């Protein structure tokens, strides 16, 4: 396995974690246009849980939606 630093030395890295797909797999309805804002407001723990799922799966990079 190549380290993240070594990979970054080759240039740009494109990331796509499928954040919405993870939230849907956890049972969240994302059919409105402001689903991410709604979840941040109404269920911030859902955002944390989605990020936690990536960490638990061994993600090397984490980009958060919360401050």
Contact 48, 66 (CB under 8 A): yes
Q: What pLDDT shows up at residue 58?
A: 86
The answer, as to whether pTM is greater than 0.75, is: no
For the chain, which residues make up each domain, given as ranges? 19-24+34-67
Alpha helices in the chain (DSSP H): 4-8, 19-25, 35-42, 44-56
In tens digits, the chain (67 residues) has pLDDT values of: 678 788 888 887 777 778 899 999 999 999 999 998 999 899 999 988 998 998 898 887 777 665 5
């Amino acid at each position: 396995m190549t380290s993240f630093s070594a990979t970054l030395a080759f240039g740009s890295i494109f990331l796509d974690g499928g954040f919405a797909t993870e939230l849907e797999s956890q049972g969240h309805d994302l059919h409105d246009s402001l689903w991410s804002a709604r979840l941040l407001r109404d269920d911030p723990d859902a955002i944390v849980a989605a990020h936690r799922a990536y960490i638990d799966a061994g993600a090397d990079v984490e980009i958060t939606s919360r401050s």
